[in-house]
Amino acid sequence: MTELPARRLLLVHAHPDDESINNGATMARYAAEGARVTLVTCTLGERGEVIPPELRQLTGPALGAHRRGELTAALRALGVTDARLLGGAGRYGDSGMMGTADNDDPDCFWQADVDEAAGHLAEVILEVRPQVLVTYDDNGGYGHPDHIQAHRVAMRAVELADERGHRVAKVYWNRVPRSVAEAAFARLRGELPVLPFDEGASVGDVPGVVDDERITTTVDGTAHAAAKAAAMRAHATQIEVAEPYFALSNALAQPLFTTEYYELVRGTGQRGETDLFAGVEEAA
């Protein structure tokens, strides 16, 4: 049997681009340090809004195929080589925004049986045996149905894998401390006149913002800022980057964070951690 790397990190995301926005610096850092970084993406984002006018003809499966190529390029920039699509390519479709008719599509991820989808993810967990798993909170960070479902599937898969012999030592949710977000948006307001964006977003537009005391772990990825920005640029249908800011299809500028923040929700750790694997070796 092939020997596993000492550190193994699994991230569960809803669509291509979520990984780069939320965890790009973290993924690049741990990949550079020799950890096995595995990404599971639950849908291909077939219902995403396309930014470049020359690509707006892409919809449905054609957009999904294009975004899969963008994901490949993004992970290359991050140095990540292990990427999976939950249940295989096209198994679960993009569910669209909450409250739309797309949510009712029987093939969309929002309509998936959680135990079935979690079973697919549990198989990946049992194969790569991660000590650390990262996903969204129970609101998916900002209420998107695919993000909420990714949370449900990830948390259930951790339980299923535990029942089958592998315990994920630590589970984290993506977070941004409110003080950091507010300071970043204050800088953005001052710099907006020289940016290629007409308006700025607000703190409320950033997924996962919570009061500072909920943050347990801070990962400094500033050494990998260029990799994160390159990965986000690779998702050209969804993101426009003007470092240290970016905008989604709403064209509202927001900060590009290269220090990334987490809340430990399963496992043992201490507030103020700077390493997702803190204590893992000692507990192994």
Phi, psi dihedral angles at 82 (to 5 degrees): -110, 100
Q: How many CA atoms lie within 13 A of 105 on its CB side?
A: 21
Q: Is 15 annotated as a binding residue?
A: yes
Q: Is 235 annotated as a binding residue?
A: no
The answer to whether the beta carbons of residues 65 and 43 sit under 8 Å apart is: no
Integer Cα distance of 19 and 9 in angstroms: 13
Residues 6+ apart with CB under 8 A from 194: none
> By CB neighbour count within 10 A (0-12 exposed, 13-18 middle, 19+ buried), where does 204 fall?
exposed
Cα-based distances in Å from 29 to 84, 147, 163, 222, 263? 20, 24, 31, 9, 18
DSSP secondary structure, 126-151, as one string: HHH--SEEEE--TTTTT--HHHHHHH
Strand 82-85 to strand 36-41: parallel, antiparallel, or no bridges (unpaired)? Answer: parallel
- Among candidates 31, 89, 93, 83, which has minimal Cα distance to 59? 93
Q: What is the signed CA dihedral for 112, 156, 257, 234, rounded to 10 degrees? A: -40
Terminal-residue alpha carbon distance, the chain: 20
Annotated binding site: 15, 18, 147
Annotated binding site for Zn(2+): 15, 18, 147
